[in-house]
Amino acid sequence: MSARDHDDDGNLFRDAIGRVRPLARERDALPERPRPAPEPEQSRLDEARVRDELLTHAIDPGAIELGDEISYLKQGQSQRLLQKLRRGQFSVRAEIDLHEMSVAVAREAVRMFIDDCRRHGELCVRIVHGKGLRSKAHGPVLKQMTDTLLRQRGDVLAFTSARPAEGGTGAVIVLLRHA
């Protein structure tokens, strides 16, 4: 390319663009520095606090599942039914909490609750009986009463201790027969 062609290209460009004015240069403006990577400071503090609490606080034995699960499957029912109940594959439709009840009051409350649930077609229910941590030497009396009562009822197909998120060994999920 000759110098003349180069000048022609420049003139052609300027004719196409039109008048231009140069930008004013800011001498103080420096290119922005890249920002440092974000530090998860609060997460780090939370983790340190948990670690400290574990080292300084006694572990609450009541918060630990002791493996004292209860379960029952009515004779003639498929073992698969109990497995599905344990896995939470049934929708819990009603719940009763027996905390602070005497055994006699709780027994009658469970009977009425189950009868009412069957009348309304609620066939998967939860009974919260507690873990019996305040039952002293007698053990978990409401839990034992619930276990015994449910095994005696003809309308109970199966029951099992709840999953940890649903009350663990302090609750039982019950599957009832259709009315």
pTM as predicted: 0.62
**pLDDT per position in the chain (179 positions), as tens?**
566 666 788 788 888 888 877 777 666 566 677 888 888 888 888 887 877 776 665 554 444 445 588 999 999 999 999 999 999 999 999 999 999 899 999 999 999 999 999 999 999 999 999 887 766 666 788 999 999 999 999 999 999 999 988 989 999 999 999 87
Domain spanning 67-176, CATH class: alpha beta
- Give the whole-angstrom CA distance, residue 88 versus residue 162: 8
Domain limits of the chain? Answer: 67-176
Please report the DSSP string for 106-131 in residue order: HHHHHHHHHHHHHHTT--EEEEE---
- Let me know the angle formed at the C-alpha of 51 by 48 and 52, rounded to the nearest 5 degrees: 85
